[in-house]
Amino acid sequence: MAIMNFGGVEENVVTRDEFPLEKAREVLKNETIAVIGYGVQGPGQALNLRDNGFNVIIGQRRPSKSWDKAVADGFLEGVTLFEPEAALEKATIIMYLLSDAAQIEMWPTVQKYLTAGKALYFSHGFGITYKERTGIIPPADVDVILTAPKGSGTSLRRLFLEGKGLNSSYAIFQDATGRAFDRTIALGIGIGSGYLFETTFLKEVYSDLTGERGVLMGALAGVMEAQYNVLRKNGHSPSEAFNETVEELTESLIKLVGENGMDWMYANCSTTAQRGALDWKGPFRDAVAPVFEELYAKVKAGEEAQRSIDSNSQADYRVKLEEELREIRESEMWQAGKAVRSLRPGR
């Protein structure tokens, strides 16, 4: 483990140099890793582990689109693809990668197969942090560990295929075997993490829920809609409004930020853009800070978790979700976006 300085604060991190793939393979050479759930995170993590030489099996209900996807990805029925109960029985490490709501529903089944010495792996701290609400309380004789890629399973897989990595956090909630740390880091390296930084289950879920509702998704969508609507109200065309709001951000500026930081992006823009950005950064920060404070308070109080549990466990959840997504998809802004994307060179 290395100690790195981040903005003057020291943190524990693990890199590929100090924990290479060969070491990860050695740590997990006698393990059977069962990925339970083949939806959002499951495919990326399972495929990366398989391609890196680990013994991976899938536990997925059939018939389902996820089962069919696993077959299409090369997992073989009765060899590396099983119904969940069969996979759980074979596993020494259970990667519990179902949605939070589905984890609650399936927990009574998973419990039966958590025999002494096994490891229960998560990529989100939700189920354990809010255990009084979820009922997910592991037995004392298993390792309970976490590696959480900081991005979607699709991004994890794409970067892996490009020879890159997606940074991940790691946490150990329970070390029953004395091998929890090595198991956790080996899995993190195996799934293709760029580097791993230390956290706790609680901090992971607090930061994750805040980030998803904030800058990463909720705030981003809201700010985009606000600017687009103002431009349209003032007579700008849909194409102009979308390009100035979304296209320039996603196709140019955010990539400059990712390369070398916000200051470097500013330095590579016009002086007029620099001045305006620096002048308006503060008012925007001050305007949204109270919203972020309210958001974090609701996450910490468990209100956001309970809302997710209540809504996602409803029988008609998928129908309601599709309706909300349809409204976004069919809005003028994102219809304009569809047209803009179709005009990109190479499309």
Peptide bond preceding 63 in cis form (omega within 30 of 0): yes
Rounded to whole angstroms, the Cα distance separating 313 from 102 reads 8
SS3 36: strand
Residues 57 and 91 sit within 8 Å (Cβ to Cβ): yes
SS3 41: coil
**236 among known catalytic residues:** no
Rounded to whole angstroms, the Cα distance separating 120 from 101 reads 17
The active-site residue out of 28, 84, 123, 124 is 124
Buried b / exposed e over 125-158, threshold 16 CB at 10 Å, is bbbbbbeebbebebeeebbbbbbbbbbebeebbe
- What is the CB-side half-sphere exposure of residue 42 using CA atoms within 13 A? 24
Q: What residues are annotated to the active site?
A: 124
